[in-house]
A and B are shown apart, each in its own frame.
Chain A
Amino acid sequence: MDELLKILEGNALESRATIAKMLNLPLAEVDQRIADYEKRGVIRGYQTILNEDQLDLDKTTAVIEVKVTPQREGGFNTIAERISRFPEVRSAYLMSGGYDLLLFVEGRNLRQVAAFVSERLAPLEGVVSTSTHFMLKTYKRLGVLMHSEQTDERLTVSP
């Protein structure tokens, strides 16, 4: 992967000037390349990684395994894209193994998520079955540990 993307993936707020220094590139080129990635849709957005457990939110997340019937034209894509358009669905993946789609679904509470599954998702044509698991606690998200304190144990000066 382009090192530029790697840096942004690690910290989207890294300044362009810093990135230019790190990659030994002119600032204008860094600007240009980021603009290109955005235009081509390689970069789809920039978000903040929150530790939601610290924010007393009215929010429940469920992981839902969905079995679907692929369609003659469009295979899994038609049904997967239809499901993905629901705003409750935060992430959706096509999977190998015992089910087809893995969804991360958010709602205000358990009842709302249950309603989404029973009234929206399950009745869709092509959905064969669903299996819903509610998340209890987040330990790590997007590569970031949520509960560990970073301390530097090193001596302040060493040979």
Chain B
Amino acid sequence: MSASPSLRNRIALQVRDIPRSGIRDFFDIVSTMKDVISLGIGEPDFDTPWHVRESTVFSLERGATHYTSNLGYLELRKALSKYVSKMFGAEYNPDSEVLVTVGVSEALDIALRALINPGDEVLFHEPCYVSYRATILFAHGVPLAVETKAENGFRLTRAMLEAKVTLKTKVLMLNFPNNPTGGVMSRQDLEDIAAFARERDLIVITDEIYGELTYDAPHTSIVSLPGMKERTIFLHGFSKAWAMTGFRLGYACGPAELIEAMMKIHQYTMLCASSLAQKAAIEALTRPEVDVGEMVAEYRRRRNYIASAFAEMGLECHRPLGAFYAFPSVAKFKLPAKEFAMRLLHEERVAVVPGTAFGDCGEGFVRCAYATSLDNIKEAMVRLKRFVGKL
């Protein structure tokens, strides 16, 4: 039943006018169909490492079922501080510069709400994660999308930002390795962006949820560059590297004043992240390398396989360097991405996500997640090849 017009008119404008996620619509169709091989799943197919699950059960038995500090367990914040220092190259004080959140999604939301006055502009790059534009609008910000390009490996350049920035721009959002493109930024690329942010006095929000998942070169975080830590909110979480999506656990690191502002929103709206998820995260951080390293090696093999399969069937695709997504171009078939995806789904039972779900400039592309078994990938490539052969 749809809401009556009078009720619809009562919905806040910034909510009413935002369409729901294109992924959601696609999911509704796919979920009614049988025997579909899905390359549309944006979460690891690995199980949460057993030692993490086992210790979560133990925590439950031990009674870790109460509110925690608003910021999160101090033990976890200390472990996070160590991990971020080692993996991303920035030192944060666990007492005042680390906030544990309900996924990176919450962290992003409260970071923007803590920073944005109505009308402030936020620069972000598209194609991007489905929530960015909406989250900016919910915070009464003005989204300024910058289009990244396949021919450039979907990297962001200073020139692209210069073309969009105005005096009202306050925040720059980054997400590398990128969902949906698999694009990454080198240290050199980031240095240009960092210089731009410093000169324009912008606050940077960097979502590095896929930071562990790079395949050809180690990840560089913008927070590790000179003069950036003091103007950056760093976001990360446990969903991807530890396959803990359902635990909903993320965190933000940043200057104490900004973390304090975010904490206020978190305190009044969320109180704290789940105690059990926090206990699980502590366990995950105490033995990370083995689990994560094996997972990365497996993703790399699948990435190699899927890239080579695309090349064989003549599908143009920039080489994905991080996350677990390939973003091939389907423009040469002269079909809108959505129609390509719908026909592929109906004719060959393979689900991919039309690029337009990640911004208008995703037109002409589809996102193929290789976070699924090699057998599934193989069969999907056979079907995809047959499908593009008919077009």
Contacts and interface: CB of A to CB of B under 8 A. Distances in A.
B353 A157 contact: yes
B304 A156 contact: no
B30 interface: yes
B62 to A, nearest CB: 26
A156 B30 contact: yes
Interface range on chain A (Cβ under 8 Å from partner): 10 to 19
A22 B27 contact: no
A155 B351 CA distance: 12
Given A152-B45, A154-B41, A157-B351, A23 B304 contact: yes
A58 to B, nearest CB: 34
Contacts of B23: 157-159
A158 B367 CA distance: 11
Contact of A21 (B27, B129, B309): B309
B267 interface: no
Given A18-B374, A21-B309, A24-B304, A156 B45 contact: no
A7 interface: yes
A139 B351 CA distance: 35
A24 B305 CA distance: 8
A23 B30 CA distance: 32
Nearest to A7: B301
A3 interface: yes
B43 interface: yes
Contacts of B308: 21, 24
A155 to B, nearest CB: 6
A57 to B, nearest CB: 28
B38 A159 contact: no
B26 interface: yes
B211 interface: no
B388 interface: no
Contact of B38 (A7, A22, A156): A156
Contacts of B36: 156
Contacts of B309: 21
A3 B297 contact: yes
B352 to A, nearest CB: 9
A154 B302 CA distance: 19
Nearest to A19: B301
B94 interface: no
A22 B40 contact: no
A5 B337 CA distance: 39
A157 B40 contact: yes
Interface in B39-79: 40-43, 45
Contact of B301 (A3, A152, A154, A155): A3
Contacts of B21: 159
Contacts of A24: 304, 308
A132 to B, nearest CB: 31
A116 B21 CA distance: 68
B131 interface: yes
Interface of A: 3, 6-7, 18, 21-24, 152, 154-159
Interface of B: 21, 23, 26-27, 30-31, 36, 38, 40-43, 45, 129-131, 179, 297, 301-302, 304-305, 308-309, 351, 353, 357, 374, 378
The 8 closest A-B pairs by CB, nearest first: A157-B40, A22-B301, A157-B27, A21-B308, A21-B305, A159-B130, A158-B42, A156-B30
18 contacts: A3-B297, A6-B297, A7-B301, A21-B304, A21-B309, A22-B304, A23-B301, A23-B304, A24-B304, A154-B45, A155-B27, A156-B30, A156-B351, A157-B27, A157-B41, A158-B41, A159-B129, A159-B179
Given A22-B301, A159-B21, 10 more contacts: A6-B297, A18-B374, A18-B378, A21-B304, A21-B309, A154-B43, A155-B41, A156-B38, A159-B179, A159-B357
